Amino acid sequence: MVVRHRSGRAHRMFRGVRLTTLEDTVLDCAAMMPFPDALAVADSAVSSRLTCERNLRNAAVHRRGYRGIRNGRRVVACMDGRAESGGESIVRGILIDLGYLIKDIQAPVTSIDAARGPLRLDILLQADDGSLVDLEVDGGEKYENPEMNGGSPLHALMRERQREAGITARGYKVVRVTVAQARDRAWLKARLSVYGVYPQG
């Protein structure tokens, strides 16, 4: 059973215990956490289908006047369930904070290998000269986790090299960053400037 108080906060009752709804939990995180990290929470909640963007937007409307609701609405406005990892969401949040224009995420690109499906670009940016830049967010898990690396870190590395070759063959520049690197905002801006990508705001 879901109960909504006059305060605008809903809760669920489970065996006599009052539980915060997932939507309010996401908004609580948005009120307390840095924007990039809160964006990762919202993206994950939507991508894992624990909730949907519509429910989160409705919850944000009902929380009018709550402390941190401005941050919550910003997170809700920027969330995107297509993000494939928390790292991608965090880096996207940092880019938004810095004023970069994000053209798309997980943008499909036709592979040069007909046997493969479309390649997907983590975060698509545009340089001043109009060229497109694929910002790839690197994490160690796809190389270290046996369930993701095909049984060999070397195999995973070679597969990623081939994927990048396919992306560049389609005319995209590729820049790779880790979440730790992106959290150094001066470093991130300097790295992107090498590719002709600058904040718009």
Identify the pLDDT of residue 115. 59
CA distance 120 to 62: 36
Identify the pLDDT of residue 160. 74
Tell me which of 20-29, 115-124, 170-179 is least confident. Answer: 115-124
Q: Provide the 3-class DSSP secondary structure of residue 120.
A: strand
pLDDT, tens digit, 9 for 90 and up, residues 96-120:
999 999 999 999 998 877 657 788 9
Q: Rg for the chain (alpha carbons), in Å?
A: 19
**H or E segment to which residue 125 belongs:** strand 119-126
Q: Hey, which residues does 176 pair with through a beta bridge?
A: 136
pLDDT, tens digit, 9 for 90 and up, residues 40-51:
999 999 999 999
**H or E segment to which residue 109 belongs:** strand 104-109
Read off φ and ψ for residue 68, nearest 5 degrees. 85, 0
Q: What contacts 24+ positions apart, CB below 8 Å, involve 179-184?
A: 179/87, 179/90, 179/91, 179/137, 179/139, 182/90, 182/91, 182/94, 182/137, 183/90, 183/94
- Do residues 136 and 177 make contact, with C-beta atoms less than 8 angstroms apart? yes
Mean pLDDT, the chain, rounded, equals 86
Specify whether the backbone of 127 is left (phi greater than 0), alpha (psi in -120 to 50) or beta: beta
CA distance 56 to 42: 9
- Assess whether pLDDT exceeds 70 at residue 141: no
- Do residues 120 and 160 make contact, with C-beta atoms less than 8 angstroms apart? no
Read off φ and ψ for residue 146, nearest 5 degrees. -60, -25
CA distance 30 to 37: 8
